[in-house]
């Protein structure tokens, strides 16, 4: 179990640090049509999907008071983000800004297949328009 957790953390850091260009781009100012799996989302939906992915992996992000759980703080610390706030900042600011190239506050995301080694909080993300 510890090996799976460590492997997941290594994969999380590697994915989150990968350039957005690693994922196929969508062109034309919107995301590809429904069957492609790409969806256009704002930052709130981006974070909500991330939190849901953590929950699917058994990691509770917030407690009943709306504070980070000790479990999430520990997960984030183990991944090198210091605490839950550091991980949320990375997802909502650092990673978001790297993808939202046109700064219109939307990106396209796509769920990755549910396979061994791909946690539910991973999904592809690219800007929703062609780079100028």
Q: What residue spans define the domains of the chain? A: 2-127
With CA atoms as reference, report the closest residue to 17 among 120, 122, 119.
122
* Inter-CA distances, 32 with 13, 14, 93, Å: 27, 26, 25
pLDDT value for 122: 87
* Inter-CA distances, 5 with 50, 72, 88, Å: 17, 13, 19
Mean pLDDT of the region 105-119: 86
Q: What is the pLDDT of residues 17-51, one digit of tens each?
A: 444 443 444 344 678 776 778 889 999 999 999 99
With CA atoms as reference, report the closest residue to 110 among 7, 23, 28, 44.
23
pLDDT value for 12: 55
Mean pLDDT of the region 58-87: 97
| Torsion from C-alpha of 80, 85, 87, 92, nearest 10 degrees | -150
> What angle, 0 to 180 degrees and rounded to 10, lies between the N-to-C axes of helices 70-78 and 2-17?
70
54 has a pLDDT exceeding 90: yes
Q: Are 24 and 38 in contact (CB under 8 A)?
A: no
Spatial separation of the C-alpha atoms in residues 103 and 105, rounded to whole Å: 5
pLDDT value for 69: 98
């Amino acid at each position: 179990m510890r090996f799976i957790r460590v492997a997941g953390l290594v994969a999380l850091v590697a994915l989150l640090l990968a350039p957005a260009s690693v994922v196929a781009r969508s062109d034309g100012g919107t995301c590809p049509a429904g069957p492609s799996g790409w969806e256009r989302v704002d930052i709130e939906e981006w974070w909500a999907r991330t939190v849901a992915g953590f929950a699917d992996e058994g990691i509770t992000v917030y407690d009943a008071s709306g504070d980070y759980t000790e479990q999430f703080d520990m997960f984030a610390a183990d991944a090198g983000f210091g605490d839950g706030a550091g991980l949320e900042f990375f997802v909502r600011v650092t990673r978001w800004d790297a993808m939202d190239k046109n700064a219109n506050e939307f990106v396209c995301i796509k769920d990755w297949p549910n396979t061994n080694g791909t946690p539910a909080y991973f999904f592809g993300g690219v800007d929703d328009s062609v780079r100028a």
